[in-house]
A = this chain, B = another copy of it.
Amino acid sequence: MSSRTVHMEQMNWMDYAALIETQPVVFLPVGALEQHGPHLPMNCDEIIPREISEEVAKNIGGLVAPSLYYGYKSQPRTGGGNHFPGTTSLSAEAVIKSVRDVVTEFGRHGMRRMVLMDGHSENTMFIIEGIDLALTELRREGIGDMKVLRIGYYEFTSPETEKVVWPDGFPSWPLEHAGVMETSVMLYRHPELVDLSKLPKDTPAEFEPYDVYPVTFENLPGLPRSGALNSANLATVEKGKLMFDEYVAGITAAVIKEFGLQI
């Protein structure tokens, strides 16, 4: 790979215009500004998918667009709920229309290979609607050959890694909010933003198999006050490296396969 930046916004438009003729893959990270317990910063849902995007882009000669930083309202069973201070979320329509517009614009530029890299599971369905609306817009402009992947990076965790990271059993992705995976990856990539001395001591979240609204601590007695749904005591930098590298490798392979790249 050349020394070209993967950051599209750091390029000038003429270099970008020349580059897109080669049909690189562009990654659009979609994040959230969301509480992640007392030991992690609020940027985990943006920083992790963005840095994975950057690494994959380097591997395959791709590009990373600026993140859609803010995401949909945090839910109790996956992120603690939107009532925490700091958690700063968008409505459904803002997420949907932002995704729609950005994907449509890339299509107008001539891009035909996109990856929406999601770091916040509450975004999933709104990203999907945004992609669907964008593909409709593009189709009506005569552009029918855009292909878009939507990736929740954590879905690339292998069973082998699961066993290493959670030797006593994997709790489920929702319960992993601010848990072992995110804490480990942040320890690996941004130890300066992690404060293990603040690891919450409250018990793991206990949720009923349904949702209750409005979201209050009274309505959700099993919701930890710390905002971390599960203990991150087992987090280590080595686990973080293991998982981060696995995500990068797995997504690199997936993107190569889906877009038929010759690397």
Q: Contact residues of A with B, CB < 8 Å?
A: 8-14, 16-17, 20, 33, 35-43, 46, 65-70, 72-73, 75, 84-94, 96-98, 100-102, 105-106, 109-110, 122, 124-126, 128-129, 131-132, 135, 139-141, 147-152, 155-156, 193, 195, 198, 208-214, 219, 227, 250, 254, 258
Contacts and interface: CB of A to CB of B under 8 A. Distances in A.
26 contacts: A9-B41, A10-B43, A12-B195, A13-B37, A13-B87, A14-B198, A16-B42, A43-B66, A68-B69, A73-B129, A88-B105, A91-B101, A92-B96, A92-B125, A92-B126, A94-B97, A94-B100, A94-B101, A124-B125, A128-B211, A139-B141, A147-B212, A148-B213, A150-B211, A151-B209, A152-B209
Nearest to A35: B13
Given A213-B132, A254-B208, A94 B94 contact: yes
A227 B128 CA distance: 20
Contacts of A149: 210-213
A51 to B, nearest CB: 14
A110 B105 CA distance: 29
B11 A213 contact: no
Contact of A43 (B9, B210, B258): B9
A-B pairs, top 3 by smallest CB distance, nearest first, are A13-B35, A13-B86, A155-B209
Given A9-B41, A93-B93, A149-B211, A86 B109 contact: yes
Given A33-B65, A88-B102, A135-B213, 15 more contacts: A11-B42, A12-B39, A12-B198, A13-B227, A70-B98, A70-B101, A70-B102, A90-B97, A92-B129, A93-B97, A131-B213, A149-B212, A150-B211, A156-B209, A209-B254
B70 A66 contact: yes
A97 B129 CA distance: 15
A132 B126 CA distance: 15
Contacts of A72: 125, 129
Q: Which of A36, A42, A43, A124 has the most CB of B within 10 A?
A: A42
